[in-house]
């Protein structure tokens, strides 16, 4: 824990924007260095221009690879492109547009020449592809749209990010991202920028293939079809929305005005240095709306008044591309993401969405709280447990077989009120509005509802820690088989399951999950650092959670050996 975690950023913590942007254009990647290659993680390619990991050559090569990939798939409709507020997002957006225009791709850019949340891009793709028609979303055939979002999500200000959403509207699967990354690195090896055809930015903006699209109006006008904004307005729920300097900043103001909500944008600032932020746990500026350290200012505003009166009934935060949510209540402060996911599921499946398919399942990632399992069982609903990554929820959300999909990292989405798909990417604005709907229709805060769940299903203690691991060890962890775990007990309880595949879809976890009657842990390698992550939960006590974590590390270290 950094000594200034949760404290306001100082001048020495801030990036030099000119230096970061200058490096984007000036530094040329050495593709022989793995750290400078194109690598797609669970949410696209990320890196910093200062490390020669996110530079003009990378983006030109990735965009050219996307042009070729979409052509190979027969995707010939418009490409919707959005960007967030990071310093590198605008330069990368411009590079991408220059390549797309040169290739003759029809591109839909924001009509306001402004920031676009990830869920708004997903929603526009899906609407174009038939989400609001009786026939449902098409994912094959002529005229299909896809998209690009230029964002590193909640990463620090020095970073950039670039992700591709195919015609299903959600994050691209590994088959697509693997092909795109391989082709992009091949382009970099064969000449980089010089081998990619481009036009000038002015010509790209003026091209017949470049069109303006009103992402904001499309998204905001459609909200009553997925959340009960009239109930929120009628109940007079007081909302404090903090965009954390991200892409939702203009959207929250438009939502308040469009639906006459008692909603205050508590911090409308956009600053690529994020000078107004408090530092995260490790001393970095990070727009992680699930972190009590990054959200310290909003939590203080809700809970720190001398008279004990909170200024809002609920306060919310979003990360830079608005695909994550943070929920702050007067009685509990910042809710643990797992707690709010469980409350949202109980509310939505408990009668709030009668228009949903009767068999719509509940989706969770395997590192999300087992409280969700207990809630699903009490609702007599099928639970679909998948590996880490929102892409695993896409097929179910498209068809309505999954009504809600959520991740422990505060990302989720759910169906429209009539059971059709809303978005196939995470939607932080939607989940924040759902918190207000819960207050409006039940008269109680989400944290009060969580207390009810605890009374019925038990209290749990949940945490994630990191442990050192070499690249060889990480590869070994990703390839573990259940029979390599020889222990029969975990922290004093019999092991009930040892998993290397997700029970919901049989997909490889890329790690290991071990469960007992009252606890579990999951270990998986980091895609960006020489560590592996241990997620653990106990329904016994905080001390028992510590035992589970220690036993997990010992068990995994034993399976990895001495490499």
* CA–CA distance, 532 with 525 (Å, rounded to integer): 4
* CA–CA distance, 72 with 266 (Å, rounded to integer): 46
Whose tokens are 């088989």? That residue is: 481
Question: In this structure, are residues 313 and 45 in contact, taking their beta carbons and an 8 Å threshold?
Answer: no
Q: How many CB atoms lie within 10 A of CB 148?
A: 26
Helix (H) or strand (E) holding 551: helix 542-560
Which of 43, 49, 122, 153 is an active site residue? Answer: 153
Question: In this structure, are residues 168 and 399 in contact, taking their beta carbons and an 8 Å threshold?
Answer: no
Of 63, 121, 69, the closest CA to residue 92 belongs to: 63
Angle of helix 446-457 versus helix 371-379 axis, rounded to 10? 80
Q: Does residue 49 carry a catalytic annotation? A: no
Helix (H) or strand (E) holding 94: helix 89-102
**Measuring CA to CA, how many Å separate 128 from each of 103, 138, 146, 399?**
21, 9, 9, 16
**Per-residue tokens: 306:** 């001398």
**Per-residue tokens: 430:** 């939607």
Residue 509 neighbours by CB under 8 Å, 6+ apart: 366, 387, 388, 499, 500, 501, 502, 522, 524
Percentage helix, strand, coil for the chain under 3-state DSSP, each rounded to 5? 40, 20, 40
Which sequence positions are flagged as catalytic?
153
């Amino acid at each position: 824990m950094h000594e200034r975690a949760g404290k306001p950023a100082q001048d020495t913590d801030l990036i030099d924007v000119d230096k970061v942007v200058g490096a984007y254009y000036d530094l040329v990647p050495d593709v022989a260095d793995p750290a400078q290659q194109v690598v797609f993680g669970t949410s696209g390619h990320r890196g910093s221009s200062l490390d020669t990991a996110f530079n003009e050559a990378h983006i030109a090569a990735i965009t050219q690879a996307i042009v070729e990939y979409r052509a190979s798939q027969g995707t010939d409709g418009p490409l919707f492109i959005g960007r967030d507020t990071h310093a590198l997002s605008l330069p990368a957006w411009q590079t991408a547009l220059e390549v797309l225009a040169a290739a003759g791709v029809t591109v839909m850019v924001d009509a306001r020449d402004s920031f676009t949340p990830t869920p708004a891009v997903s929603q526009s793709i899906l609407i174009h592809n038939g989400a609001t028609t009786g026939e449902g979303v098409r994912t094959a055939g002529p005229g299909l749209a896809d998209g690009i979002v230029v964002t590193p999500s909640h990463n620090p200000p020095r970073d950039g990010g670039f992700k591709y959403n195919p015609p299903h509207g959600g994050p691209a699967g590994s088959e697509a991202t693997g092909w795109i990354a391989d082709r992009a690195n091949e382009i970099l090896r064969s000449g980089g920028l010089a081998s990619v055809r481009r036009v000038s930015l002015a010509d790209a903006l003026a091209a017949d293939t470049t069109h303006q699209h009103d992402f904001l109006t499309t998204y905001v006008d459609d909200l009553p079809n997925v959340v009960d904004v009239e109930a929120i307005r009628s109940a007079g729920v007081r909302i404090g929305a903090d965009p954390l300097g991200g892409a939702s900043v203009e959207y929250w103001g438009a939502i308040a005005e469009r639906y006459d909500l008692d909603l205050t944008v508590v911090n409308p600032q956009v600053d690529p240095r994020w000078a107004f932020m408090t530092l995260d746990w490790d001393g970095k500026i990070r727009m992680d709306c699930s972190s009590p350290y990054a959200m310290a200012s909003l939590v203080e505003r809700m809970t720190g008044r001398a008279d004990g009166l909170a200024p809002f009934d609920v306060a919310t935060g979003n990360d830079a591309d608005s695909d994550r949510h943070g929920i702050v209540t007067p009685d509990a402060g910042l809710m643990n993401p797992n707690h709010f996911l469980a409350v949202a599921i109980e509310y939505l499946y408990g009668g709030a969405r009668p228009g949903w398919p009767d068999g719509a399942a509940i989706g969770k990632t395997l590192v999300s709280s087992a409280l969700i399992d207990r809630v699903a069982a009490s609702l007599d609903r099928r639970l679909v447990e998948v590996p880490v990554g929102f892409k695993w929820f896409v097929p179910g959300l498209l068809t309505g077989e999954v009504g809600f999909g959520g991740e422990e990292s505060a990302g989720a989405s759910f169906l429209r009120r009539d059971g059709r798909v809303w978005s196939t990417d995470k939607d932080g604005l939607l989940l924040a509005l759902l918190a207000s709907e819960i207050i409006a229709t039940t008269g109680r805060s989400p944290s009060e509802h969580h207390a009810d769940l605890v009374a019925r299903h038990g209290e749990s203690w949940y945490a994630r820690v990191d442990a050192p691991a070499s690249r060889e060890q990480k590869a070994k962890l990703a390839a573990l088989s259940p029979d390599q775990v020889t222990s029969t007990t975990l922290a004093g309880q019999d092991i009930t399951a040892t998993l290397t595949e997700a029970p919901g879809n049989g997909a490889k976890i890329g790690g290991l999950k071990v469960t007992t009657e009252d606890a579990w842990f999951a270990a998986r390698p980091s895609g960006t650092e020489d560590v592996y992550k241990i997620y653990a939960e106990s329904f016994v006590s905080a001390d028992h959670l510590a035992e589970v974590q220690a036993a997990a590390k010992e068990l995994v270290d034993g399976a990895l050996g001495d490499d």
